Chain A
Amino acid sequence: MSETMNFIDQATTFVSSHESQSKTQWLADFRLQQQTRFSQNQWPTRKTENWKYTSLNALQQANFNQPSQASSTIDESAYAIENLNAQTLVFVDGVFDATRSQLDIDSNASVCLFSEANEKQQALIQNYLGKASGNSSNIFTHLNGSLTHDGLLIHVAKGQTASPIHVVHYASSQTQAATAQSRHLFVVEDNAQAAVIEHFASVESNGNSLFNQLTEIELGNNAHLHHYRLHLEDEQMIHLGAMHANLQRDAQLNSFHLALGGKIKRIDIEVNYQGSGAHSDVNGVYLTKNRQHVDYHTNMEHAVPHCTTSEVFRGIMDDNSKAVFNGRIHIHPQAQKTLAELSNKNLLLSNKAEINTKPELEIYADDVRCAHGATVSQMDNNALFYLLSRGISREEAERMLSFGFINELIDGVKHEAIGAYLRPVIAELFGNQQHLAECDL
Chain B
Amino acid sequence: MLTIENLHANVDDKAILKGLNIEVKPGEVHAIMGPNGAGKSTLGNVLSGRDGYEVTQGKAFLSGKEILELEPEERAGEGLFLAFQYPVEIPGVSNLEFLKASMDAIRKYRGEEEIDSVSFMKLAREKCKAVNLDQNFLKRGVNEGFSGGEKKRNEIMQMMMLEPKMCILDETDSGLDIDALQVVAQGVNSLRSPDRSFVVVTHYQRLLDFIVPDYVHVLADGKIVKSGGKELALELEEKGYGWIEGEVA
Please list the residues of chain A having a beta carbon within 8 angstroms of any beta carbon in chain B: 380-383, 385-394, 396-397, 400-401, 403-408, 411, 433, 435-436, 438-439, 441
Contacts and interface: CB of A to CB of B under 8 A. Distances in A.
B102 A391 contact: yes
A390 B98 contact: yes
29 contacts: A380-B88, A383-B88, A385-B72, A385-B88, A386-B88, A386-B142, A388-B76, A389-B73, A390-B106, A391-B73, A391-B76, A391-B102, A391-B106, A391-B109, A393-B73, A396-B101, A400-B101, A401-B93, A404-B93, A405-B92, A407-B92, A407-B93, A408-B92, A408-B141, A433-B101, A435-B97, A435-B101, A436-B97, A441-B96
B141 A404 contact: yes
B87 A386 contact: yes
A438 B139 CA distance: 11
Interface string B68-107: 0001110111000110100110111110111011101110
B51 interface: yes
A435 B100 contact: yes
Contacts of A436: 97
Contacts of A383: 88, 90
B154 to A, nearest CB: 11
Contacts of B139: 439, 441
Interface string B98-121: 101110111001000000010001
B71 to A, nearest CB: 7
B94 to A, nearest CB: 4
Residue from A392, A394, A400, A407 having most chain B Cβ neighbours under 10 A:
A392
Contacts of B94: 439
Contacts, number: 99
Nearest to B161: A390
A400 B138 contact: no
A393 B70 CA distance: 12
Contacts of A435: 97, 100-101, 104
Given A392-B101, A438-B117, A404 B90 contact: yes
Question: 3 shortest A-B CB distances, which residue pairs?
Answer: A404-B92, A391-B76, A408-B92
A392 B88 contact: no
Contact of A393 (B81, B98, B105): B105
Contacts of B48: 389
A279 B102 CA distance: 41
Given A385-B51, A441-B121, A392 B73 contact: yes
B85 to A, nearest CB: 12
B162 interface: yes
B147 interface: no
Given A389-B72, A407-B92, 10 more contacts: A382-B88, A386-B90, A387-B102, A388-B49, A389-B50, A392-B102, A393-B105, A438-B117, A439-B96, A441-B121
Contact of A403 (B76, B77, B93, B104): B93
Contact of B105 (A386, A396, A407, A438): A396
B101 A439 contact: no
B158 interface: yes
B57 interface: no
B137 to A, nearest CB: 11
Contacts of B49: 388-389
B98 A400 contact: yes
B56 interface: no
A403 B94 CA distance: 11
B109 A438 contact: no
A400 B98 CA distance: 8
Contact of B91 (A394, A396, A397, A408): A408
Interface string B45-74: 000111100000000000000000001110
A4 B202 CA distance: 69
Contacts of B98: 387, 390, 400
Contacts of A408: 91-92, 141
Nearest to B86: A382
B189 interface: no
A435 B124 CA distance: 15
A434 to B, nearest CB: 9
B97 A439 contact: yes
A400 B97 CA distance: 9
A431 to B, nearest CB: 12
A397 B101 CA distance: 9
B36 interface: no
B179 to A, nearest CB: 26
A441 B138 contact: yes
A38 B117 CA distance: 58
B193 interface: no
A390 B87 CA distance: 12
